[in-house]
A and B are shown apart, each in its own frame.
Chain A
Amino acid sequence: MGRNVCVVGVGLSDGPVTPDLSPSQLIAQSFRRALDDAGLATRDIEGLASAGYGGMHEVAVAEYLGLQPHWLDSTSCGGSSFEFHAHHAFRAIEAGDVDTIAIVYGNNQLSASGRTLGTGGGGGRGGMQPPGPMKYEFPTGMTLVGAYAMAAQRHMHEFGTTAEQLASISVQTREHAHRNAGAMYRDLITVDDVLSSRLVADPLHKLDCCVISDGGCAIILTTEERARALAHRPVFVRGGAGGTTHHSIQAMGDMTHTAAAVSGPKAFAEAGIRPSDVDVFCAYDSFTYTVLVTLEDLGFVPKGEGGPFVADGSLRLGGALPTNPDGGGLSNTHPGMRGLYLLCEATRQLRGDAGDSQVEGAEIAVCNGSGGWLSTQGTVVLGTEPR
């Protein structure tokens, strides 16, 4: 085993609605805040990871930020990209290839494209055919929300999961957002509110879907040795793993199991933990079903029992598994991709800096990013102590 690796800086941009900031500016603003949080300077950053929407994205970001990194990761697998980045960065720092890495993301999804992501086609504009295997699905009228809906429908069929149980995920996540002054939606909601919001793609209602926002996020990782000299209590990366099962939803063999069933156990084994050790779960919540299926795949609850588990209030502060205490993508912020926010929130929790949203005594946090159409899963375990 090599060097221990820590998250030492986190930064969030202004948000969740920033019509005057470009994606690059959102990245730069959150990067600057992460540097300040860590007490580091631009010259300290030797490696850069990012995922975006154009060719050589991470290289353009490096130039914009004034960086000349000698370690790059442009893994781009949707919302889970940033868990892959953190895992790769962990490995590179552990091995001694590089000491200090920044992972950054920013997008003005809402201001540039409105609420089109999910039901508006590739870029929200007609006339563009999607690349890859999506070309076979696009002419049917399928949508991104529809893909998740189809998977949720199958789960309901196999295990008796109900729309009420899925809705309870939104309700509990909104309770978290209610305590977060920066969240996009803060008014408390009920299961009936979710079920009476319009259906977007059966069985998913509008309030089963994440918000669409603007925003940027950045985190900085370095060695334990350097971390010990910095301002904050270090947060240790204890393990990570990723995986993919398909791209387009028609190729998802079993829609009730994701690659988190592989990445989770691998990451937990490396971290030396069991699911019962986890104090905070930062779940990718693009849709309520994303939370339900990954809770099961990661082993927090047996397959098929996620519905009763969430309906029991398990995701609340003080519940069996406090989940997305910042209000998640369902209520707080989701600027196109959200994976990096999971790592940011987990760090805040493990530092004990989360204020009204704090999970008391949190020592182990799990971040699970999901990308595409439940296609890719990346799991990262963080802790207050090294492995």
Chain B
Amino acid sequence: MTWAETPKWVVPHPNAEDREFWEGARRGELRIQRCSTCGLHQHYPRYLCSHCGADTVAFVTASGNGTVYSFTVIRQNGVPPFNERVPFVIATVDLDEPGARILAAMPTLDPSAARIGMRVQATFRPANDELGFVDFESAE
């Protein structure tokens, strides 16, 4: 099964707190939270700011630009459909919005081209009609 297809067991189960993240990805927006008290950002959605503890977080749309903090190449994953997609790159990306890091797949990146520090940008992939996933691709 390719990256374009999402089996139903991989479709997220959104809750009231994170639905905006998944629906944003379906619309082509990377939705993260910004804290108006400390000015820092976070992914994934939470009630309190994980940096300063304030309850003053609200969704903003991130630029989608970031830098790879680290990565791995997944060469073994026993769960369908991932077992049919290996090898693929997974990266932790520090977003340009301070404080926010997101782990995401980089389906179009040649594993041999992955490196720490590479500039990347978000891309979006539908999970179903309402929800989507955030991926990244090289911006270099």
Chain A interface (Cβ within 8 Å of chain B)?
116, 119-121, 124, 126-129, 133, 135-143, 145-146, 149-151, 153-154, 157, 198-203, 248-251, 253, 255
Contact = CB atoms under 8 A, between A and B. Distances in A.
B103 A249 contact: yes
A149 B102 contact: no
Contact of A153 (B13, B70, B76): B70
Interface string B79-108: 110100100101010000000011111000
Contacts of A142: 74, 90, 103
18 contacts: A120-B78, A120-B79, A121-B77, A129-B9, A136-B21, A136-B44, A139-B133, A140-B105, A141-B74, A141-B77, A153-B116, A199-B75, A200-B75, A201-B75, A250-B43, A250-B102, A250-B103, A255-B70
A116 B83 CA distance: 12
B12 interface: yes
Nearest to A121: B79
Contacts of A149: 72
B111 interface: yes
Nearest to B9: A127
Contacts of B18: 136
Q: Which residue, of B21, B70, B78, B88, has the highest number of chain A Cβ atoms within 10 A?
A: B70
A257 B51 CA distance: 18
Nearest to B89: A202
B69 interface: yes
Interface in B105-140: 105, 111, 116, 127, 133
A148 to B, nearest CB: 9
Nearest to B115: A157
Interface string B38-81: 00000110000010000000000000000001111111111110
Nearest to A124: B78
A157 B116 contact: yes
A203 B18 CA distance: 32
A210 to B, nearest CB: 15
A141 B90 contact: yes
Contact of A141 (B13, B82, B116, B127): B82
Contacts of A119: 76-78
Contacts of B116: 153-154, 157
